[in-house]
Amino acid sequence: MLPENDNRFQTEMFQWSVRMSAVAVEMVVPAVLGILLDSFCGTVAVFTVAGSVLGVSLGFWQLIQIARQKEDSTDKPSTERTSNPDR
C-alpha cells in the first residue's frame, strides 16, 4: 500500500490532469464546431475563426482562474478550518 504522502501526490496530479484536460477541451471544441458550421453553411472559415477566438479566450480565462485559485491557496496560512459552532 502507498504511504499517505504518495496518495496525496497522486490525487493532486490527477486533479491537475483533469483541469488541464478541461482547458484543452474548452479551447478545441469551439474551433471544431466552427469548422462544422462552416461546412454546413458553406462559408469560408468565418465560424472557424470565431470558434477559435472564442475557444482560446475561454481557455485562457480558465487558466487565469486556476492560477488565481492556486495563488490564493498559497497566500493563506496552512491552518485547518474549524467549523463554526454558531451555524
Residue 83 has what pLDDT?
A: 54
**What is the pLDDT averaged over residues 41-54?**
94
Query: pLDDT-derived band of residue 82, with 50, 70 and 90 as boundaries?
Result: low
Closest by Cα among 6, 49, 12 to 31: 49
Burial 9-44 (b: 16+ CB within 10 A, else e): eeeeeeeeeeeeeebeebbeebbebbeeebeeeeee
**What is the pLDDT averaged over residues 60-71?**
89
Residue 85 has what pLDDT?
A: 56
> Looking up cell 469560408, which residue turns up?
44
Considering only residues 71 and 38, tell me which one the structure prediction assigns the higher pLDDT.
Answer: 38
> Looking up cell 490532469, which residue turns up?
17
Considering only residues 34 and 6, tell me which one the structure prediction assigns the higher pLDDT.
Answer: 34
